[in-house]
Amino acid sequence: MKKRYNIALVAHDHCKADLADWVAFNRDRLKKHHLICTGTTGRIIEQELNKDLEENDRDYHRVLRLKSGPLGGDQQLGALIAEGKIDMMFFFWDPMSQQPHDVDVKALLRIGVLYNIPTACCRSTADFIIASSLFEDDSYQPQKADFNNYITRTIE
């Protein structure tokens, strides 16, 4: 069996339809992985993945839904990344709208880079990640960040 990734899916309100469309297009590739989403995005993604399926269908897919982003979901997701429980993140964010939780959004993107997880912030990058041969490669191990120098630094 191929590796089952823990994949984070997040979208701002104006990008939720685009993410849902992307998920529908990649349904077969995504349904074998664990999907973790923030609030409303999770409900939309779960509905998209299970469209036209009966609840007892063997392909029925449940999505782990965290709180809504502005209510702490971005921070919950950041904590999961810091704990090594997220393998990649698809975060379709809206660069044209100010977000009430903008500092949380920036912190989430920062933590994703800090822990070196593949992160797509737009559909084109998401397409490249999911179409990459590395997406299906069980042997690929991303380089883990080494924070030892930071942790053991001398404070003067």
* Inside any domain, residue 65: yes
Q: Catalytic residue numbers? A: 74
Q: Quick one: three-class SS letters along the chain?
A: CCCCCEEEEEECHHHHHHHHHHHHHCHHHHCCCEEEECHHHHHHHHHHHCCCCCCCCCCCCCCEECCCHHHCHHHHHHHHHHCCCCCEEEEECCCCCCCCCHHHHHHHHHHHHHCCCCEECCHHHHHHHHHCHHHHCCCCCCCCCCCHHHHCCCCC
* Inside any domain, residue 1: no
* Inside any domain, residue 141: yes
pLDDT of residue 32: 87
**Alpha-carbon gap, residue 51 to 67, rounded angstroms:** 23
* Inside any domain, residue 70: yes
Residue keyed to tokens 């797509």:
120
The mean pLDDT of the chain is 90
Share of the chain above pLDDT 70, in %: 94
Say how many domains are in the chain: 1
Range of the domain at 115: 6-151
Share of the chain above pLDDT 90, in %: 65
Whether 1 has a pLDDT exceeding 60, the answer reads: no
Taking every pair of C-alpha atoms in the chain, what is the biggest distance, in angstroms?
Answer: 63
* Inside any domain, residue 93: yes
* Inside any domain, residue 156: no
pLDDT of residue 54: 66
Instruction: Write the CATH number for 82.
Output: 3.40.50.1380
* Inside any domain, residue 18: yes
Quote the pTM value.
0.90
In the chain, the amino acid numbered 138 is: D
